[in-house]
Amino acid sequence: MAAASAPLRARRSVLYMPGANERALEKAKTLDTDSLILDLEDAVAPDAKDQARERVCAAARSGEYGHREITIRINGIGTAWHADDVAAVVQAKPAAVVVPKVNNAAEVVALDVELREAGADDDLALWAMIETPEAILNVAQIAAASDRLTVLVMGTNDLVSELHVRHIPGRLPLITALSQAVLAARAAGKVILDGVYNDIKNVEGFAAECEQGSQLGFDGKTLIHPAQLDGANLAFAPTSAEIEHAQAVIDAFQLALAEGRGVVTVNGKMIENMHVTDAQRVLALAAASAR
């Protein structure tokens, strides 16, 4: 059964936290991040998987993370830890389970079945990581495969590796893949998150990539360090000018309707229904970001 629909929420900043690091999980309770991905995959060594699973599931059950959306990244399909991760995470009841290297729609359907058979509630969301060439070629089908799937997460490090390209400013080798994924997310009505930025100390480079991600249509960015939170929160929230314009559009449209006018302009530009819809989303996102 599909996950229940939810009102718009901000996912400007989505921070990975290593599941084996108890201090990191504790610190996450104080960070200004919209969402957390408590990681059982890349950030956890094989001999620490079981302990990390217990620690992360306890954290998800604790109710101590306030407004922060709690998700758990499990180990991928076919790994030795996948089934145990699914069973434990379903019982922990996070907001979502994040699955790496989802390559096709059949895997999404199988994951949905697996979660239901493990006892998952209808509102346990599935986030699919898009990080291989196969996934990019199938991304539209992946996004539409299940209503439980609510978020696509770009895994740009793996994608760079598998494409045999380099990390460069501007991400030219990835633009086609990034844009294709955004198109798929929008066609299916799903949220999409940009990949991580690796150079933690390069503040200017990070800001530029956040701005690029916002311009490409991403809803937010996945992060690897708390120092990146402020930049992501700023880049993926509406500016004061955008909020002011959105309110002006809505006010002008409502006034025109009340006066029976068929033509509406704001600052000399024609306003149509789609502009009102865009303005309403800006104000909703601003309100969600403020919360």
pLDDT at 3: 41
Taken in order 271, 275, 276, 280, the sign of the CA dihedral is negative
- pLDDT (tens digit, 9 = 90+) per residue, 279-289? 998 998 898 88
- pLDDT (tens digit, 9 = 90+) per residue, 217-235? 999 999 999 999 999 999 9
Nearest to 126 by CA among 150, 145, 143, 94: 150
Helices 82-92 and 49-62 sit at what angle, rounded to 10 degrees?
A: 20
Please give the Cα distance from 234 to 141 (Å, whole number): 32
Please give the Cα distance from 285 to 283 (Å, whole number): 5
Instruction: Look over the chain and give the mean of its residue pLDDT values, rounded to a whole number.
Output: 94
pLDDT at 6: 52
pLDDT at 267: 87
Q: Which of 8-12, 100-104, 139-143, 175-179 shows the lowest per-residue confidence on average (mean pLDDT)?
A: 8-12
Q: What is the CATH topology of the domain spanning 13-235? A: TIM Barrel (3.20.20)
- CA angle 84/86/87 to nearest 5° reads 65
pLDDT at 2: 38
Find the radius of gyration of the CA atoms of the chain: 20
pLDDT at 115: 98
Helices 203-216 and 175-188 sit at what angle, rounded to 10 degrees?
A: 50
- pLDDT (tens digit, 9 = 90+) per residue, 72-110? 999 999 999 999 999 999 999 999 999 999 999 999 999
Nearest to 64 by CA among 13, 27, 9: 27
Place of tokens 């996934």: 135
- pTM of the predicted model, to two decimals? 0.93
pLDDT at 4: 39
The predicted model gives 133-159 an average pLDDT of: 98
Taken in order 212, 32, 159, 204, the sign of the CA dihedral is positive
Please give the Cα distance from 139 to 130 (Å, whole number): 8
**What are 125's strand-pairing partners?**
96
> Residue type for 224, please?
I
- pLDDT (tens digit, 9 = 90+) per residue, 179-192? 999 999 999 999 99
* Residue 130: C-alpha distances to residues 98, 154, 277 (Å): 11, 5, 29
